[in-house]
């Protein structure tokens, strides 16, 4: 099976949608040798910041000269971006051979896209004998396909209202789902999360005899510098390559995880891992400057907490622009009205688009109805890539912010790379 047909087979599994539950993936892994059992892993869940925190952890471990697997989702342009070892993407040849070898079993068990991809990542990391694998959940935690591992540490970056149709409509309910990654006697690390979520996680840790590390107990913001201090390390994080004060917290959380889990306390190496996160992991789409003069910013803020994080950084520079344009697209299961309500006052123009060939995407008709309800003026963009190309030719002190679903940013990056 060639790569095109291998990926076609994989993407066809989207027809099975999202099937939360571990029976299928457990059965599949049992019949493919349980490669995950040979891995030393870090398991990361959260409403926001899980991709960034995963990348910071992987980058720090790489600076310690470890061979590190990193599993994240979704991808931007190439499927291979999801599975990396020391920032080298999984090769096409492995994808082809894996699908060819397991196609009959995949069909028999009616596996989903994410279940197969997760199994593939485990096998790739195991075959290549990585020292550590950093595993990001796909959706939630308790019933997520990645939740078949017993990690060295369970990490919860943030908890906010998202996927309420699946995970629950309260902070406590969502926290309970994400806390499902907590395993007996495995240390738990949490970022800045609401009190209602902390209470749920504390109870879970008590029931599983898991030591709880709360980032707020180890950090202090002094001006623009975030201070991280434990008995073993003292770090002053003034900035990271990923813009935003919230990224300083993600970086600090990663440093705390590595220090407390592995007793790796070289402050210089941890700082180097934070500083080199982009070149070590290839992370993108986090307040990313896609173009300069005119400025184009890509940010994968996909829920209200993410929007507020983005705005906390954008406010610092927004007054320097004479014209501020938003291009926005998201999934149906997001609080889009709340997101646009938070955004509209910062932009002169709001342009909307949809994610092509994705049944979960918020459609143009959905946008029209919402705009009428909100008395919000929007401009529809049927060809958002062309809109971006035209904006790039403009002069002046303008900014275009492309914001929302990672699927949207990925489609646009792919289209823009084909013809600039």
pLDDT at 266 over 50: yes
Closest CA to 297 of 390, 400, 397: 400
pLDDT at 339: 93
Q: Please list the residues that pair with 66 across neighbouring strands.
A: none
Confidence of residue 16 (pLDDT cuts 50, 70, 90): low
Position 164 scores a pLDDT of 45
pLDDT at residue 385 in the model: 96
Q: How many CB atoms lie within 10 A of CB 109?
A: 17
Name the token pair of 10.
């994989």
All domains of the chain, ordered by start, with CATH? 3-281 (3.40.1190.10), 288-418 (3.90.190.20)
Q: How confident is the model at residue 45 (pLDDT cuts 50, 70, 90)?
A: very high
Region 155-176: mean pLDDT is 77
The b/e string for 31-51 (b: 16+ C-beta within 10 A; e otherwise) is ebebbbeebbbbbbbbbbbbb
Q: 108-127, pLDDT tens digit by residue?
A: 999 999 999 999 999 999 99
Q: Are 136 and 27 in contact (CB under 8 A)?
A: no
pLDDT score of 396: 77
Distance (Å, whole) CA 222 – CA 202: 28
Helix (H) or strand (E) holding 45: strand 41-45
Please check the confidence at residue 284 and state whether its pLDDT lies above 70.
Answer: yes
Name residue 361's beta-bridge partners.
331
At residue 420, the pLDDT reads 47
Q: What phi and psi, each to the nearest 5 degrees, are found at residue 36?
A: -65, -25
Give residue-wise pLDDT tens across range 88-104.
999 999 999 999 999 99
pLDDT in tens, 195-249: 999 999 999 999 999 999 999 999 999 999 999 999 999 999 999 999 999 999 9
CA 373, distance to chain mean position in Å, is 31
Per-residue pLDDT tens digits for 358-406: 777 889 999 999 999 999 999 999 999 999 999 998 877 999 999 999 9
pLDDT at 335 over 90: no
* Average pLDDT value for residue range 154-159: 96
**Model confidence at 271: pLDDT above 50:** yes
| 8 A C-beta contact, residue 23 and residue 135 | no
pLDDT band, very low/low/confident/very high, at 162 (cuts 50, 70, 90): low
**Residue pair 28/114 in contact by the 8 Å Cβ criterion:** no
Residue 240: its pLDDT value, please? 95
């Amino acid at each position: 099976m060639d790569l095109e047909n291998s990926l076609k087979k994989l993407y066809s599994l989207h027809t099975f949608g999202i099937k939360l539950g571990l029976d299928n993936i457990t059965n599949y892994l049992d019949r493919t040798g349980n490669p995950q059992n040979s891995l030393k892993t870090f398991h990361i869940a959260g409403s926001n910041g899980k991709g960034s925190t995963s990348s910071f952890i992987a980058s720090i471990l790489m600076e310690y000269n470890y061979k590190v697997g990193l599993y994240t989702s979704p991808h931007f342009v190439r499927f291979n971006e999801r599975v990396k070892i020391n920032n080298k993407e999984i090769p096409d040849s492995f994808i082809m051979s894996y699908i060819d070898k397991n196609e009959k079993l995949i069909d028999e068990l009616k596996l989903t896209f994410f279940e197969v991809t997760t199994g593939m990542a485990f096998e790739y990391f195991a075959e290549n004998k990585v020292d550590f694998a950093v595993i990001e959940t796909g959706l939630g935690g308790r019933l997520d396909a990645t939740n078949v591992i017993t990690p060295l540490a369970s990490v919860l970056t943030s908890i906010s209202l998202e996927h309420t149709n699946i995970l629950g409509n309260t902070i406590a309910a969502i926290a309970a789902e994400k806390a499902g990654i907590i395993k007996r006697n495995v240390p738990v690390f949490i970022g800045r999360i609401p009190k209602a979520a902390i209470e749920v996680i504390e109870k879970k840790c008590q029931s599983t005899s898991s030591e709880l590390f709360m980032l707020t107990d180890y950090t202090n913001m002094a001006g623009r510098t975030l201070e991280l201090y434990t008995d073993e390390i003292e770090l002053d994080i003034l900035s990271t390559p990923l813009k935003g004060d919230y990224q300083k917290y993600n970086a600090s959380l990663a440093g705390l995880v590595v220090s407390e889990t592995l007793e790796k306390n070289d402050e210089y190496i941890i700082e180097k891992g934070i500083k080199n996160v982009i070149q070590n992991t290839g992370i993108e789409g986090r307040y990313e400057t896609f173009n300069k003069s005119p400025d184009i910013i890509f940010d994968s803020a996909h829920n209200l907490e993410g929007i507020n994080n983005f705005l906390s950084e954008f406010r610092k520079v927004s007054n320097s622009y004479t014209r501020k344009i938003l291009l926005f697209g998201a999934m149906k299961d997001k609080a889009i009205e709340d997101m646009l309500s938070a955004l509209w006052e910062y932009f002169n123009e709001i342009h909307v688009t949809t994610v092509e060939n994705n049944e979960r995407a918020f459609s143009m008709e959905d946008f029209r109805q919402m705009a009428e309800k909100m008395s919000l003026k929007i401009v529809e963009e049927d060809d958002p890539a062309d809109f971006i190309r035209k904006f790039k030719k403009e002069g002046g002190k303008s900014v275009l912010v492309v914001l929302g679903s990672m699927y949207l940013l990925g489609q646009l990056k792919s289209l823009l790379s084909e013809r600039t």
